[in-house]
Amino acid sequence: GQNIDQPTEMTATEGAIVQINCTYQTSGFNGLFWYQQHAGEAPTFLSYNVLDGLEEKGRFSSFLSRSKGYSYLLLKELQMKDSASYLCAALDSNYQLIWGAGTKLIIKP
């Protein structure tokens, strides 16, 4: 079956760095997405990786290893506004998104 695993909740300190991991098992693979969702709001797109390696976008970076079925989202210089859920999703061979349950990130001062 198809499956996405990510931690349910993580806590980090303002100004620090946090890494949110995601492992996936899909039938075929056409890329890995990360979305941010603040409570009560719509998910918003953060990143898309289809090739192995690290992609950096300001304070946020996303990494993919296709051979390991693994990705992570790295958030640097954490700010209080980064408190949100982070959703990992993989695009399968039919170009359908398979979603993880999301990781709730709590930032403490």
Residue 7 in contact with another protein, rule: CB under 8 A: no
With CB under 8 A as the contact rule, the residue among 23, 31, 55, 66 that binds another protein is 31
Interaction mask 33-62, another protein, x per CB under 8 A: x------xxxxxx--x--------------
Which amino acid is present at 95? Y
Helix runs in the chain, H state only: none
Q: For another protein, which is the closer residue by CB, 48 or 60?
A: 48
State the Cα–Cα distance between residues 18 and 24, nearest whole angstrom.
20
- What is the H or E stretch that residue 62 is in? strand 60-65
List CB contacts of 51: < 8 A, sequence separation 6 or more: 64, 66
Number of residues that bind another protein (CB under 8 A): 22
State the Cα–Cα distance between residues 47 and 26, nearest whole angstrom.
19
To the nearest whole angstrom, how small is the minimum distance from the Cβ of residue 68 to another protein? Answer: 20
To the nearest whole angstrom, how small is the minimum distance from the Cβ of residue 34 to another protein? Answer: 12
* Contacts with another protein, residue ranges (CB under 8 A): 4, 8, 31, 33, 40-45, 48, 87, 89, 91, 95-102
